[in-house]
Amino acid sequence: MNLNKVFLIGNLTRDPELKTLPSGQPVVNFGLATNRMWKGKDGNQQKQTEFHNIVMFGRLAEIAKQYLQKGAMTMIEGRIQNRSWEGQDGQKKYRTEIVAESMQMGPRLSGGNSGGSYGANAGGAGNRSKEHEMPAEELATVEYPEDEIKPEDIPF
């Protein structure tokens, strides 16, 4: 059995860019940054940021273009895909992308209701009420335990 599944929670690094494929299907792409924070052996807090290329198709792409913007927090569920093509300069180019199958929008940057959850067959807007919205200061990055996990400590 094989599995190619990715869950990411992060912030958009640029506004979604909407294009249309020759078939007429909408496609959107944007960057997503995720942070990892932990305390090092010296006790100082460490931070590492990873950048991901996100691609969405169909109705999900249209929803992303309408509701997401640079800096917005969102959760993406999808799969990893590697592409290669020949550039205009004749060089072979490579790109690793996350092809999103669903997304859940985080709190809005300018206040108001937070977003809903959308899947590949998304058909409408689903907003949650304000009572379920978390203030931005409570949405801290996950902090990992101080102890570093060593492969030889894993029992299998």
DSSP secondary structure code for residue 61 in this structure: H
> What pLDDT is stored for residue 122 in this prediction?
47
Using DSSP bridges, classify how beta strands 26-39 and 17-20 pair: parallel, antiparallel or unpaired: antiparallel
User: What 8-state DSSP symbol labels residue 64?
Assistant: H
Q: What is the pLDDT of residue 147?
A: 59
Report the predicted TM-score, pTM, of the whole model to 2 decimal places. Answer: 0.69
Which residue ranges make up each domain of the chain?
A: 6-153
> Which CATH number applies to 6-153?
2.40.50.140
**Tokens found for residue 42:** 């010296």
- pLDDT tens digits for 120-141? 544 444 443 344 444 444 545 5
* Nearest C-alpha neighbor of 105 from the set 67, 50, 62, 52: 67
The string of pLDDT tens digits covering residues 70-81 is: 999 999 999 999
